[in-house]
């Protein structure tokens, strides 16, 4: 995800959009997948291409923001299947019209965990049309080295002076939401009233600026977070659960800590870009990767839990252990699913993050 | 077809790729950016023409503080690159023999063979609290506790200087190369001390190279993205990061385009001031080397 | 020549090695105050190295350099009162004429208020009073030359070194500058040390000339001495034009020697103070074209003076060059001989194919034993 690579991809996407005019027929069908780093392991692609020899899979790795930026640049062209998170679809569709509705009859919906399927459908229905189905889910929360921070419990502990210079967080919206919850607010409920939400954000910003002194560095991706944690330079951090699980397999003292106020859960989806040209292949891919044996491969690669019924049982053994070490059933019940981001909130959150970054603290 | 027509056709064909390149990859995108920058967002899919984005920039100290910060740190990087690069360039141009010269250029070039990202990770491995430098210093007993060398502005500046060094050295070498050795000898012969010769003869002579190196380095630094992001600490925001945030994270292409233009205008202003102060022209410096 | 009690510049047994190459080999000389001294030699003979040692840009491997009697070997270039006019002048293009001249004054700490007066004074002396504010690139070649000299002279140096400064000029300007330089030297009355590979520059301007070859001084003397009484085959060949033959002494006495060349010419040659010849010696023989008289064959019998040489041949070609015209004569033994003639454009002029008689006196034939070293007028050494 280097900047150069990203601009190159954007440029080539724009170039394709300009040169490959709509009339140009796609020959041997190509499935152009826009997805997360570990969501298309080589082994899965091989198996898929064995089963459907006339489909070539091309993968572009990205993240939520870049997926939307790429699709926005071309009005939804250049890719046949995207995997944004469930809370990033509604507003993006309203604002930029980059997705197209799904034909649920082409998907075997019976295998999905109903709670997840219904949740995603509810989140992504516009004018009666459903735009997404779930793929994998996971949580954002905290992790701590049990030996060095045994009492680490909630978002607020990141700012606990006893861990001064030994914690880390990612300067993105998750930490704003987590801190809001830790301060006893319900930011998702406030989405309906943006003034109220702004008030919450202001409080959160003050808190996080004050907390800056306590933080060693803001991490930017799974790799630098892993390095910080494994080297012992930090003892606790905000994290994605998959990263924490991976570290658990290397150092069992490092565990995922679902915050007392509830881990924040995200669901990555399957969504069709508006100008995708290989819908059939996309549906084939969706059904293919939801098969139990593929789910196992996928979860092993990504660390996410499948939206298939019994998805947790299909996690590889070490991850299952990590999950069991982290979550009680109570924690699962306590999950806070990210609510749909209404238009305008990204801007408010962005400004809040800028303020924190620009503030001179420690 | 007459000889003249053929000549014109040849000229046209030779010029065409360059013209296309300028038009498609520079002029058109900038027109698009200009259009975006002058578009105010009213609501979802609703826009209005106006200067609102620029007003917003002016009203928000975080934005222009970051721009000024980026500018002043870029100037610092430029100055350091000049101070470090000048002796190297002088050595390459005036002292080194043919083979050493090649080797020196190669050394300057090596950083560019590695991608930005890998280079930044290299620095991270060296400088982090549990990194190579910190542990070596502990091993030889110079410090007794690990020291964090990463995540601060000094690291960003060092990393940037390292990255842009070649772009300072090449124009310097090319001007110093053109300087007759006897000019320096004449400087000494007429009674000048080493310092006088440097100040009155070598530096004035190398001025076009100095200015052109500084312009290139300043532009590269102000527009760099990865190094400040990866090496920077909690407080070190860089203006390009802000542009990226606007475009990608906040879906605010209008503000992103505005920022892009402001960065362009700001760096152009600094370059213009630099040229005025050093009494050089663009044609005599960058265009020459 | 006798030198004054204190010479401006004195070099004693200087040598300079670059690795295994000996560029300057045990050179000693002394230059009296106020004279114009030239070092003449082919490129690569070591003369530039010698000059750079005097200026301080190179350190001698051995020997001593004294200026006004004081050794300067340990002094850095900017502490020696020896100024230098570089081959390409090395005027500073980023400064105007005034600043170029004032540079040295500023370096020496001359009071600011004195500088304009001194600069103007030296500009007046080189007859360019109004160019102070001009940029260097606005000057003509000759003007640049004079500014380069003024830039040094304003500092009142003990010795002014000039490193082939006329090399870059075109022929006409070069001729004019020769005279000008000589006049400037008289005017400033400063010791000039002039390096050149052009014998005519050295002969015209100098009070004394040193001929240098392979890192050594072959001969030091007044121009006329070098020309008329060279002490080595190299000097004879390098200074002035000559017919040159390799030959062998067939007969010799105290006054003269008889030499037969490889081409079969037999000529008489006066014995010289150095290099006396004896029978059987292998010799290089030089006869300058202007000392060969060319006559119509039928009318020249009486020209064969005692001790001289006369031979006959036919005009092979005419080399017309105004006052310096020559004929190439093919002798009976098939040797080619150059001789100066006057071509008036009249009927009496020689034409190709004319039968002629060539005559020269023994005094004007210079023979040197060839001691294995085949130094010649055209071949240069290969020292760095």
Predicted confidence (pLDDT) per residue in B105-125, tens digit: 888 888 788 888 888 888 888
Is B215 within a domain? yes
Q: Are residues A189 and A283 in the same domain?
A: no
pLDDT band for position A21 (50/70/90)? very low
Instruction: Say whether both C348 and C208 belong to one domain.
Output: no
| Percentage, residues of chain B above pLDDT 90 | 34
Given C204, C233, C262, the domain boundary residue is C233
One digit per residue, the tens of pLDDT, for chain C of length 384 reads 444 456 889 999 999 999 888 999 999 999 988 899 999 999 889 999 999 999 999 999 999 999 988 999 999 999 999 999 998 899 999 999 999 999 999 999 999 999 999 999 999 988 899 999 999 999 998 899 999 999 999 999 999 999 988 887 888 888 888 888 888 898 888 999 999 998 888 998 999 999 999 999 999 999 999 998 898 889 998 998 889 888 888 888 878 888 888 888 888 888 876 667 887 888 888 999 999 988 886 654 544 445 578 888 899 999 888 888 899 999 888 888 999 988 888 888 888 888 888 888 888 888 888 764 444 433 333 333
Task: Tell me if B34 is assigned to some domain.
Answer: no
Residues 6+ apart with CB under 8 A from C180: C142, C146
- pLDDT above 70 for B288: no
Question: What's the CATH number where A186 sits?
Answer: 3.40.190.10
In a domain, A281, yes or no: yes
Confidence band (pLDDT; 50, 70, 90) for B268?
A: very high
Whether residue B47 is contained in a domain is answered as: no
Reply yes or no on whether the pLDDT at A229 is more than 90: yes
Q: Report the distance separating Cα B136 and Cα B128, nearest Å.
A: 12
Mutation target among A233, A237, A348, A353 for the B interface, most CBs of B within 10 A: A233
- What are the distances in angstroms from CA B146 to CA A218, B122, B159? 19, 19, 21
Domain match, C259 and C199 both: no
Q: How many domains does chain B have?
A: 1
* C250 found inside a domain: yes
pLDDT tens readout for residues A234-263? 999 999 988 898 898 889 999 999 998 888
Does the interface predicted TM-score (ipTM) exceed 0.85?
A: no
Question: Which residues does residue C326 pair with via DSSP β-bridges, in sequence order?
Answer: C319, C340
Residue B167, number of CB atoms within 10 A of its CB: 23
Smallest CA–CA distance from B120 into chain A, residue: A2
User: pLDDT tens digits, residue range A71-107?
Assistant: 998 999 999 999 999 988 988 898 889 999 999 999 9
Instruction: Tell me if A333 is assigned to some domain.
Output: no
What is the overall mean pLDDT for chain B? 88
Contact C83 B189 (CB under 8 A): yes
Chain A residue with Cα closest to B131: A231
Could you tell me if A220 and A303 lie in one domain?
no
Nearest CB to C78: which of B191, B200, B207? B191
Q: Report which of A59, B205, A131, B231 is spatially closest to residue C90, judged by C-alpha positions.
A: B205
Q: Is residue B253 part of a domain?
A: yes
Domain that holds residue C113: 9-233
Residue B73, domain member (yes or no): yes
- Predicted confidence (pLDDT) at residue A290 exceeds the cutoff of 90: yes
Q: Quickly state the pLDDT bin for B145 (edges 50, 70, 90).
A: confident
Residue that is written with structure tokens 């392979």 in the block: C214
Same domain, C354 and C302: yes
CATH number of residue C309's parent domain:
2.40.50.100
Q: Is A231 near chain B, with CB under 8 Å?
A: yes
Residue numbers of the domain that contains A216: 139-264+338-358
From B49, B71, B92, select the one nearest B179 (Cα to Cα).
B92
- φ/ψ region of B211 (left if φ > 0, alpha if ψ in -120 to 50, else beta) reads alpha
Q: Is residue B286 part of a domain?
A: no
Helix H, strand E, coil C: the string for chain A is CCHHHHHHHHHHHHHHHHHCCCCCCCCCCEEEEEECCCCCCHHHHHHHHHHCCCCEEEEEECCHHHHHHHHHHHCCCCCCEECCEHHHCHHHHHHHCCEECCCHHHCCHHHECHHHHHHHHHHCEECCEECEEEEEEEEEEEEEECCCCCCCCCHHHHHCHHHCCCEEECCCHHHHHHHHHHCCCCHHHHCCCHHHHHHHHHHHHHHHHHHHHHEEEECCCHHHHHHHHHCCCCCEEEEEHHHHHHHHHHCCCEEEECCCCCCEEEEEEEEEECCCCCHHHHHHHHHHHCCHHHHHHHHHHHCCEECECCHHHHCCHHHHHHHHHHCCHHHHHCCEECCCCCCCHHHHHHHHHHHHHHCCCC
Q: Are residues C246 and C218 in the same domain?
A: no
Residue B213 has which token pair?
A: 């190196």
CATH label of the domain that carries residue C106? 3.40.50.300
Task: Clarify whether residues A143 and A206 are in a common domain.
Answer: yes
Select from B188, B190, B207 the Cβ nearest to the Cβ of C151: B190
B283 within a domain of the structure (yes/no)? no
Q: Is C380 inside a domain boundary?
A: no
Structure confidence by residue, pLDDT tens digits, B167-192: 999 999 999 998 988 999 999 999 99
Total number of domains constituting chain C = 2
CB contact under 8 A, A3 and B225: yes
Q: Nearest-CA residue of chain B relative to C157? A: B190
pTM above 0.90, yes or no: no
Same domain, C351 and C284: yes
Contact of A178 with A240, CB cutoff 8 Å: no
**HSE-up of A316 (CA within 13 Å, CB side)?**
16
Q: What is the pLDDT of residue C5?
A: 55
Q: Are residues C104 and C195 in the same domain?
A: yes
Interface residues on C facing B, Cβ-Cβ cutoff 8 A: 55-57, 76-78, 82-84, 86-88, 90, 92-95, 103-104, 107-108, 151-152, 155
Neighbours of C325 (CB within 10 A): 16
My answer on whether A242 and A353 are in the same domain is: yes
Chain C CB contacts of B191 under 8 Å are 78, 104, 107-108, 155
B25 confidence band (pLDDT: 50, 70, 90): confident
Percentage of chain A surpassing pLDDT 70? Answer: 92
Q: For residue C383, tell me if it sits in a domain.
A: no
Are C179 and C252 members of one domain? no
Q: Are B208 and B285 in contact (CB under 8 A)?
A: yes
In the predicted structure, residue A2 carries a pLDDT above the cut 60: no
- What average pLDDT does the segment A208-213 reach? 92
Is A144 a domain residue? Answer: yes
Instruction: Evaluate whether residue A331 is within a structural domain.
Output: no
In a domain, A65, yes or no: yes
Q: Is residue A166 less than 8 Å (CB to CB) from chain B?
A: no
Instruction: Let me know the angle formed at the C-alpha of C155 by C152 and C159, rounded to the nearest 5 degrees.
Output: 65
Domain assignment present for C125: yes
Last residue of a domain, one of C187, C208, C233: C233
Nearest to A350 among B44, B65, B245 (CB): B245
Which residues form the domain of B217?
54-278
Q: How far is B188 from chain C (nearest CA, A)?
A: 5
- Residue B107: give its domain's CATH number: 1.10.3720.10
- Is residue C68 domain-shared with residue C210, that is, in the same domain? yes
Count of domains observed in chain A = 2
pLDDT digits 0-9 by tens, A110-151: 999 888 898 899 889 999 999 999 999 989 999 999 999 999
Asked if the structure places residue A332 within a domain, the reply is: no
**C252 in the same domain as C219:** no
> A 87-116 residues with CB below 8 A of B?
92, 94-97
**Same domain, residue pair A174 and A47:** no
């Amino acid at each position: 995800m280097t900047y150069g690579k990203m601009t190159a991809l954007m440029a080539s996407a724009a170039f394709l959009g300009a040169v490959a005019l709509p009339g140009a027929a796609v020959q041997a069908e190509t499935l152009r997948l826009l997805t997360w780093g570990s969501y298309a392991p080589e082994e899965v692609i091989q198996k898929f291409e064995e089963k459907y020899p006339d489909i070539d899979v091309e993968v572009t790795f990205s993240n939520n923001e870049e997926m939307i930026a790429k699709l926005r640049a071309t009005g939804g062209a250049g890719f046949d299947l995207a995997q944004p998170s469930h809370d990033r679809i509604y507003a993006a569709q309203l604002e930029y019209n980059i997705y197209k509705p799904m034909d649920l009859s082409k998907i075997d919906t019976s295998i999905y965990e109903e709670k997840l399927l219904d949740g995603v459908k509810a989140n992504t229905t516009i004018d009666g049309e459903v735009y997404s189905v779930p793929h994998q889910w996971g949580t954002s929360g905290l992790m701590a080295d049990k030996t060095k921070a045994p009492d680490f419990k909630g978002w607020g502990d990141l700012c606990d002076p006893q861990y001064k210079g030994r914690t880390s967080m990612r300067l993105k919206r998750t930490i704003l939401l987590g801190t809001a919850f830790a301060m006893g607010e319900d930011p998702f409920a406030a989405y309906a009233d943006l003034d109220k939400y702004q008030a919450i954000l202001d409080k959160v910003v003050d808190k996080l600026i004050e907390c800056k002194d306590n933080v060693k560095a803001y991490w930017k991706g799974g790799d630098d977070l892993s390095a910080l944690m494994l080297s012992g330079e930090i003892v606790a951090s905000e994290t994605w659960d998959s990263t924490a699980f991976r570290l658990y397999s290397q150092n069992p003292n490092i565990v995922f800590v679902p915050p007392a106020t509830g881990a924040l859960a995200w669901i990555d989806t399957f969504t069709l870009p508006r100008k995708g040209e290989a819908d059939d292949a996309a549906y084939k891919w969706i059904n293919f990767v939801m098969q139990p044996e593929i789910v196992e491969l996928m979860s092993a690669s990504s660390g996410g839990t499948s939206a298939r019924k019994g998805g947790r049982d299909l996690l590889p053994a070490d991850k299952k252990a990590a999950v069991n070490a982290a979550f009680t059933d109570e924690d699962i019940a306590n999950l806070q699913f990210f609510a749909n981001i209404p238009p305008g909130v990204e801007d408010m959150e962005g400004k809040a993050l800028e303020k924190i970054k620009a503030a001179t603290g420690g | 077809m007459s000889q003249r027509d053929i000549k014109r056709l040849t000229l046209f064909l030779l010029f065409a790729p360059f013209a296309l390149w300028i038009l498609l990859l520079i002029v058109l995108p900038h027109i698009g950016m200009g259009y975006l920058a002058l578009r105010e967002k009213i609501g979802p899919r609703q826009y209005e023409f106006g200067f609102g984005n620029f007003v917003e920039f002016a009203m928000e100290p975080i934005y222009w503080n970051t721009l000024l910060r980026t500018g002043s740190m870029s100037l610092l990087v430029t100055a350091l690159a000049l101070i470090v690069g000048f002796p190297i360039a002088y050595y390459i141009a005036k002292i080194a023999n043919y083979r050493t010269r090649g080797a020196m250029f190669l050394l300057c070039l090596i950083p560019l063979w590695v991608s930005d990202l890998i280079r930044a990770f290299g620095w991270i491995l060296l400088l982090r609290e549990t990194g190579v430098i910190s542990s070596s210093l502990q091993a030889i007993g110079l410090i007794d506790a690990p020291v964090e060398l990463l995540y601060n502005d000094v690291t960003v500046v060092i990393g940037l200087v390292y990255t842009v060094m070649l772009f300072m050295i090449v124009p310097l070498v090319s001007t110093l190369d053109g300087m007759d050795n006897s000019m320096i000898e004449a400087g000494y012969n007429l009674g000048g001390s080493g310092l006088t010769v440097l100040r009155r003869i070598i530096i004035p002579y190398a001025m076009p190279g100095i200015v052109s190196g500084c312009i290139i380095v300043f532009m590269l630094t102000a527009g760099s993205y990865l190094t400040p992001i990866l090496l920077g600490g909690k407080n070190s925001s860089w203006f390009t990061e802000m542009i990226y945030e606007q475009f990608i994270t906040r879906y605010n292409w209008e503000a992103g385009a505005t920022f892009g233009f402001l960065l362009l205008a700001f760096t152009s202003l600094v370059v213009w001031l630099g040229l005025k102060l050093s009494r050089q022209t663009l044609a005599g410096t960058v265009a020459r080397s | 020549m006798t030198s004054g009690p204190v010479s401006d510049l004195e070099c004693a047994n200087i040598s300079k090695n670059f690795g295994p190459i000996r560029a300057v080999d045990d050179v000693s000389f002394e230059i009296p105050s106020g004279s114009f001294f030239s070092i003449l030699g082919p490129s690569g003979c070591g003369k530039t190295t010698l000059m750079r040692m005097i200026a301080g840009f190179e350190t001698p491997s051995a020997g001593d350099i004294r200026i006004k009697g004081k050794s300067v070997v340990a002094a850095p270039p900017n502490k020696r009162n020896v100024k230098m006019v570089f081959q390409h002048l090395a005027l500073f293009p980023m400064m105007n004429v005034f600043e170029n001249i004032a540079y040295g004054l500023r370096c020496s700490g001359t009071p600011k208020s004195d500088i304009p007066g001194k600069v103007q004074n030296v500009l007046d002396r080189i007859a360019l009073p109004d160019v102070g504010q001009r940029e260097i690139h606005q000057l003509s070649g000759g003007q640049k030359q004079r500014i380069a000299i003024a830039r040094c002279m304003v500092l009142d140096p003990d010795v002014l070194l000039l490193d082939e400064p006329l090399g870059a000029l075109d022929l006409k300007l070069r001729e004019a500058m020769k005279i000008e330089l000589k006049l400037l030297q008289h005017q400033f009355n400063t010791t000039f040390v002039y390096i050149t590979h052009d014998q005519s520059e050295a002969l015209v301007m100098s009070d004394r000339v040193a001929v240098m070859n392979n890192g050594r001084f072959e001969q030091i003397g007044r121009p006329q001495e070098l020309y008329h009484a060279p002490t080595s085959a190299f000097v004879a060949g390098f200074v002035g034009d000559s017919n040159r033959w390799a030959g062998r002494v067939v007969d010799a006495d105290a006054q003269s020697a008889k030499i037969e060349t490889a081409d079969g010419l037999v000529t008489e040659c006066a014995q010289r103070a150095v290099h006396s010849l004896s029978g059987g010696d292998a010799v290089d023989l030089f006869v300058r074209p202007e000392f060969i008289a060319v006559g119509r064959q039928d009318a020249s019998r009486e020209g064969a003076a005692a001790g001289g040489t006369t031979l006959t041949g036919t005009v092979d070609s005419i080399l017309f060059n105004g006052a310096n015209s020559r004929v190439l004569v093919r002798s009976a033994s098939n040797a080619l001989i150059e001789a100066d003639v006057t071509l008036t454009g009249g009927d009496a002029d020689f034409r190709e194919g004319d039968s002629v008689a060539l005559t020269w006196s023994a005094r004007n034939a210079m023979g040197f034993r060839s001691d294995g070293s085949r130094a010649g007028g055209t071949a240069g050494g290969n020292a760095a």
